[in-house]
Amino acid sequence: MNRVVDQETLNFVLANYRCSIDNSTVSPLGNGLINNTYLVRNINANFVLQRINKNVFKQPEQVVENAELINNHLLNKQQQNHYSLTPIWQVSTIEESAMVIDSHGEYWRAIQYIPNCFTVEEVATAEQAKQVATSFAQFTSALSDFSAVSLADTIPEFHNLSMRIAHLRAVIQSNPKQRLSQCQELVDFCLAQQVFIDNVAQLIQQLPIQVTHNDTKINNLLFCAKSNEPLAVIDLDTCMSGYLMHDFGDMVRTCCSNLPEDGTDLANMNVRFDIYAALAEGYTTTFGDKMSELEQQSLVIGAQLLPFMIGVRFLTDYLDGDNYFHTNHENHNLDRAKNQLNLYRLLQENEQKLNDLTFSVTEISS
């Protein structure tokens, strides 16, 4: 994906927020793999500016509308003292528009910038992992009486594993960049997981639908610099109907490996079980008896599912010629795929241990 934005376009967009390149500094913000995000510093105000990737979000206005609906609901909950985190608001243009469309047909929106906050790329302690899981559980709990059908599917079938496998099979067939020979072993490994794929398909028939965040990476949580406590859940782009195991699984994926998702030292990859236990404790105790027995059991499947699914997605994008995720070097998607599929393998090998850790929480707390 092209990340370059020309100065003329940037100036045109900034003008909609009473800014210009001359009176502002604009710097890249965060490590997103999809949108382009900037921090705009201006004498009047600082704000976050984002170009929504319309190759990924086919109807960018849905992303903005969903965020507004979710924020309004969270604000109500906060005012009733049922939500201790804070909504982060989108900022309208001077013409009161939610978005700006530039001359290339690209969509932009602005978001409130909260000062004195930080994000975390790598979980430091079990205590911090528990905070992360507790916050994402509070977020979904606060949305439990919000009608999932009122949210647009910003990416239809986003976490549908069978569809992700179908996409992989299709790109194997077409092999558009002739890269199949470079990753045949990895492809074979994915396709050999049919038992797991079938188990997931069967499980989702029985799980209740919730409004989930669907991108619960640790860096999608804002911490207050003064208290070191979580302050807000950010990046609501894929917040839509889902299952608790998806959100839990993505936390495990991003917190429990000792390597970043594109790390290549796979011989030394290991699972941080103390972090897993803290995530399970934070997540299950926050939901309490609002989480069914089956949902609790599904967390262990989710922990394997999310690394597997993103591994399949990275591999598909590699074979397709890197059209979806931002990449920083050749074979970046292949490195990510190898990493995430290795994490899946390690988590699968330790399924019994994960089960024990997930359920020991209930025993301790009951």
Query: Rule CB under 5 A: is residue 215 a binding residue for Mg ion?
Result: yes
Q: Which does 56 bind (CB under 5 to 8 A by kind): ligand GN1, Mg ion, none?
A: ligand GN1
Query: Rule CB under 6 A: is residue 151 a binding residue for ligand GN1?
Result: no
Query: Rule CB under 6 A: is residue 39 a binding residue for ligand GN1?
Result: no
Q: Which does 33 bind (CB under 5 to 8 A by kind): ligand GN1, Mg ion, none?
A: ligand GN1
Query: Rule CB under 6 A: is residue 311 a binding residue for ligand GN1?
Result: no
Nearer to Mg ion, 223 or 325 (CB): 325
Nearer to Mg ion, 100 or 310 (CB): 310
Q: In whole angstroms, how close is the CB of 235 to Mg ion at the nearest point?
A: 4
Question: What angle, 0 to 180 degrees and rounded to 10, lies between the N-to-C axes of helices 184-191 and 161-174?
Answer: 140
Per-residue x/- mask for Mg ion, residues 225 to 254, rule CB under 5 A?
A: ----------x-------------------
Which residue of this chain has its Cβ atom nearest to Mg ion in the complex?
215
Query: Rule CB under 6 A: is residue 32 a binding residue for ligand GN1?
Result: yes
Positions 90 through 149 that interact with ligand GN1 (CB under 6 A): none
Q: In whole angstroms, how close is the CB of 11 to ligand GN1 at the nearest point?
A: 25
Query: Rule CB under 6 A: is residue 303 a binding residue for ligand GN1?
Result: no
Query: Rule CB under 6 A: is residue 238 a binding residue for ligand GN1?
Result: yes
Nearer to ligand GN1, 123 or 357 (CB): 123
| Alpha carbon distances (Å) from 329 to 59, 254, 318, 325 | 29, 21, 12, 12
Residue of 197, 234, 310, 334 that binds ligand GN1 (CB under 6 A): 310
Q: In whole angstroms, how close is the CB of 288 to ligand GN1 at the nearest point?
A: 28
Applying CB under 6 A, the span of 28-36, 92-100, 135-143, 285-293 interacting with ligand GN1 comes to 28-36
Nearer to Mg ion, 215 or 295 (CB): 215
Q: Applying CB under 5 A, which residues contact Mg ion?
A: 215, 235
Q: Applying CB under 6 A, which residues contact ligand GN1?
A: 32-34, 56, 155, 215, 235, 237-238, 261, 310
